[in-house]
Structure formats: structure tokens, C-alpha cells
Structure 1
Amino acid sequence: MSETGAVAAVDLGATSGRVMLGRVGPNTLELTEVARFLNTPVRLWNGSRAALHWDAVGLYSAAVQGLAAAVRAEPGIRSIGVDAWAVDYGLLSSGRLRGIPHHYRDERSERGVEAVHRIADPTELYQQNGLQFLPFNSLYQFTADAEDGLLQDADTALLIPDLVAYWLTGRRVAERTNASTTGLLTLDGEWNDALIERLGLPRGSSRSSSIQAR
């Protein structure tokens, strides 16, 4: 950047979120927090048990209010970025959110671990995706959701930062570094179509339309 300009970032963490205003240029790097808000999971009865979910719509509303504060402080903002915790996602059909995104600590992932490891053990998965085994990695969540029939009517899955970006811009893409946490990317950063097929995940529900590098 040859001259000083302003950018904004939505930073969503597991317990709180914030909107940062950055001023970047030659010999200049300034960060100002313009908004901060809580990120609190909720338990909702789903007919058989109380499942743990994120308040995704509330987070989006708070992020928009924070971005409005950033624009008031710096009307000439050049770009906006969205960063969030990994592995969790929203399911969409024809662009509309289907249900409230599950929290990565929701107990359903345990069933997903058992189902996935019957097909591919942790050593094989590590060789393909380079990920540490964590029981809430997205491929386990996807598999549990598939068993519950939640993927049948969905045509797109967007990880949380990509979901927020979609609501802001109307574009459905997967940011590559965040998508790597799903366990469904190969070591070269492309979708692992062979593994997706082995797990029986519908292509449209296990990935968004394209991957973009950061």
C-alpha cells in the first residue's frame, strides 16, 4: 500500500467477537477496537435431546453493528475481512440457512468419530490431511449430520467466517486456510474428493462452490 488506508476485520472467537479498524501504510500500522460482543452458545431441544448451537444470526447482527461503527470512524474503508474459530459450519439450500449451526462441542460429534473411523482410521486421515485428531473436526460433524438426515436438503456448507462473509457479500466461497480444518482437504489444499465419496457425504453439502487462498 503506497499510502495510508483503512481496513476492517471481524474477529470471532469461541467466547467473544470484536470488530477492529486498521490503518495501514508506509511506516503505519494502527489497530483500534471499535466493537466487542459476547459469543454465547445455546442449548435447543431438537425433539430427542438438547443440542448445543451457536447464535449465528446474533453474531452477524453484532458484526454488522461493529462494521457500521468502523465506517463511522473511517468512511473510506477499503476492505473487510472475517476471521473465526474453525470446524463449525452452516448448511444452506438455495442460499438460505437451514437450521442453526451446531457448536463444535455438541455431543453428536462422538457418533461421527465412530462412523468415520470405521472407514478411515486416524493414521490414514493424518496422512491425507495432516490434521491432529480432534473429535470435533468438521468431517466428524458432517458424518453425524449425514446420519441424522440433515444434509439431504442442503446444497452448500459454509464454515462460520465464510457464512458471515456470504451474508455480507452474497458470495459463497471457502477460504483455504480455514477449510483445511475440515479434514476434507488434501495436503496440497484441494478438496479430497475420494475421501468425501468414501464417507458418503454429498458433494454439495461437504464443500462450498470454490476455494480461495488467503
Structure 2
Amino acid sequence: MQIHNLSETNSILNTFIAEMRDVTIQKDAMRFRKNIERTGEILGYELSKTLTYNKANIASPLGTAQTNQIDDTIVLCSILRAGVPLHNGLLNYFDQAENAFISAYRHHKHNPESFEIIVEYLACPTLEGKTLILADPMLATGQSMVATYEALKPFGTPKSVHLVSVIGAQQGVDFVSKHFNSETHLWIATIDKDLNEKGYIVPGLGDAGDLAFGQKLQN
């Protein structure tokens, strides 16, 4: 898998990540959602550099301009619910993309330190020969990303696969690296070293879904 860790180069993205982590600023849910959205835009822009393009002639009021336009048919798939702001950021840039949505959540069977990933809802167009962008803001254990991709397989074989996350743990990055082929790209804003005993990223930022949309009842 090809890993693109944007934190390795300083940019305005540092500010958005810092605000999402900050225990005071992140209390502003609207700003938290906006920072995830803006991060999605930056990740989408960087991702766009690797897509295929064809030449097109565009008529302007004063003549004809030649330009290169994206030739890929993109399907943008996000994991509900935390993935919605990230999806919006990507969709701001890939506004012609087809869209897919999937619910994947942690189900704790016997204790809070062990869980399985449950996939319940899925809406998706055909993926055959298309470019799949699979977005989940938090890449913790990596199990949700893998489970989601497995659930998408009946919809066809994509031409290429791009994974997009805001913050990941190294353990999660290593896990998905083992389950996706070497042609898959991971676009991520920053990677933290650790997971705690409950599978949350440390230092991370907390529960992205709760911070964006409010606390939920636990399963």
C-alpha cells in the first residue's frame, strides 16, 4: 500500500488538526465538523494529482482553451456517521462523483475492551472499473476500513482504491496495509503512534462522531 502522510510536510493542515485535537476548541461542534470538511478538501486535492486525465477543449467567451480533465469515474464511499463531514469535504472537490454510504460500528460482546465490526446499512452504485474513494476520519484498529471494503466487493471490482482518513494509529495503518494490495493509496492527515486498551487513538482527538454530532447511546 502506498501511504501519503500529509503531516510530513508543514501546511495550513497543521492548524486544522491542532484545532480538532484541542479539548477547548473541539467543543464547538460546528467548527469541528468544518475542520474535518476542510481536511477532506486538502486530502482530496492531493489525491487528485494521481488520477488519470484527458485533454479537452473548452469554449470561453474569447476563444478556445485546452485543459486536462479527470477521466476517472469516481465513487465516494463514507462510513456513517463520523464520515459525513469528511465526505462533504471530498464531495466539494469531486462534485461529479457517485456516492455510497455504509454503516459500520463497534459491537462490544462481553466487555468494553473487545469488539467486532458490524455492517448494517449499505447503499452503493456499481464499482466495476471505477475509482473508489473510501473515507473514514479515524483509522484506529483499521478493522472498520477492511470490513467496509469486504462489504463492497459484491458491487464490482474498482479500477483503483484510495483510502482517506484524518487521523490514524500506526497499528491501524499496518493492519490495512496487510489487507489492501500494493496499488492501494492511503491519504491521511497525520499518524499517531498508539492505541489505548479500548482501541482509541492516542493522543488522537476523542470520538469523532460524538464531537461532530453529539453523544450516542452505547450498543
When normalised by structure 1's length, the TM-score is 0.31
* Superposition TM-score, scaled by structure 2 size: 0.31
